[in-house]
Amino acid sequence: MLFKKKINADVRELVKTSGLAHVAFIMDGNGRWASSRGLPREAGHRAGAKNFKTVMRYCRDIGIRYVTVYAFSTENWKRPESEVRALMRLLDSEIDVAKEENDVEYLFIGDKTAIESAIRARMDELENMTAARPFRLNIAFNYGGRAEIVHAVNSLVSEGAVSVTEDDISRALYTDGCPDPDIIVRTGAEFRLSNFLMWQSAYSELFFSDKMWPDFSKRDVDRVVEEFSRRKRRFGGL
Ligand code: IPE
Ligand code: IPE
Ligand code: MG
């Protein structure tokens, strides 16, 4: 217990000294986690949702201010209808659980218009009831990085813009008000971004884990923080 506490304090300190404000997770590997246990893929998504809460709370407790998670991509509609339906049901049930969470401000990033109206209303309700809390969680759902940029540019054009700046685009993205991710973590032993935060990731550090998402632990978060604190970010300078 004492040991566990000590690690936590050290990691909290590292979060502070390294300036780690925003961590984004590509929560990949739920399906393979389930298949390797002889379980249906949906069981993997349930295990993934459970682990998401553990990791998200831990990030909050060690002093990270912003977390973004990739939960459903604009390309995930290509999956069998039964799996898509299971993911929508899971989203719906997780909204109830989320309402009990303290200190967490929820924001869904992505195109909500394609989501069933009853669920969408509950997403809006969760966002409204948790506004302006100290820890911000962005849930990327029906999210695609390219679609987000197109949406941003179209909204600027509809406001009358004839040319746009980088700042204009940043402000028109779903992540407005949130610093770019300092580090993007992908689990599931795949080494790509899969259309996640295409604009915001320009200078993000990248961290890849061979673990399937349901197995990604608090200790693994500690490893991310430790690794981040060793990276030298130059942003093109010297
Ligand atoms: C990530 O896990 C969750 C979603 C994309 C919804 P996967 O479902 O992609 O799991 P694998 O990659 O097939 O194991
Ligand atoms: C990325 O995982 C999307 C989410 C984790 C929600 P995918 O499993 O959809 O990515 P690809 O298809 O392997 O690139
Ligand atoms: Mg996958």
Q: Is the CB of 188 under 6 A from ligand 1?
A: yes
Distance 31 CA to ligand 1 centre (A): 5
Q: How many CB atoms lie within 10 A of CB 40?
A: 15
**H-type helices in 62-196, by residue range?**
81-99, 117-129, 145-158, 166-172
Strand partners, 72: 141
C-alpha 123 chain-centroid distance: 16
Burial of 222 (0-12, 13-18, 19+ CB in 10 A): middle
- Specify the pLDDT at position 4: 55
> What is the reported pTM?
0.97
Pocket test for ligand 1, best of 30, 143, 191 (most atoms within 8 A of CB): 30
Pocket test for ligand 2, best of 139, 185, 194 (most atoms within 8 A of CB): 194
- Specify the pLDDT at position 5: 56
* CB contact set of 149 (below 8 Å; sequence gap of 6+): 169, 173, 198, 199
Domain spanning 21-218 has what CATH number? 3.40.1180.10
SS3 124: helix
- Specify the pLDDT at position 8: 78
Token readout for 153 is 């540019």
Asked if residues 181 and 23 have their Cβ atoms less than 8 Å apart, the reply is yes
SS3 80: coil
Residue (of 40, 80, 22, 64) closest to 201 by Cα position: 22
Residue (of 198, 190, 184, 104) closest to 151 by Cα position: 198
List, run by run, the mean pLDDT of 10-residue segments along the chain (238 residues).
Answer: 64 98 99 98 98 98 98 98 98 96 96 97 98 97 98 98 98 98 98 98 98 98 98 97
- Closest residue by Cα to atom 1, ligand 1, is 28
